[in-house]
Amino acid sequence: MKHAIRHYFLKLKYPLAIIVFAVAVVFVGEGSLINRSKQKKEIQALQAEIDKYQKKFDEDKATLERLKNDPEAIKEVAREKYYMKTENEDIFVIEDEE
């Protein structure tokens, strides 16, 4: 009887080793496929955030260049962004209710 069980396990040692290896690759450790997919999603989210900030940086850089070279741009930015006004002028700010 012992011989039959031993022979059965020896016959299945390679398939069992492959199954154990596959389970280890998929579920165990930092390099598992599950962790890699989570990291890939996180990298994509961070890349989208980098792209958003790069776009904002480019817009601000263009505005700064315009402010350096055009005195009218200073007035425009002061009025639109900071709601500044000149003397004898009233400003009405209308905001959406959204």
pLDDT, tens digit, for every residue of 43-87? 999 999 999 999 999 999 998 999 899 888 888 888 778 777 777
Give the confidence band of 16 by pLDDT, cuts at 50, 70, 90.
Answer: confident
Q: pLDDT at residue 7 above 80?
A: no
Q: What's the confidence (pLDDT) of residue 58?
A: 97
Q: Share the mean pLDDT of the chain.
A: 85
| CA–CA gap between residue 69 and residue 16 (Å, rounded) | 73
Structural contact between residues 85 and 93, judged by C-beta atoms closer than 8 angstroms: no
Contact call for residues 42 and 48 (beta carbons, < 8 A): no
Kindly provide the b/e burial profile for residues 52-72, where b requires at least 16 CB atoms within 10 angstroms of the residue's own CB: eeeeeeeeeeeeeeeeeeeee
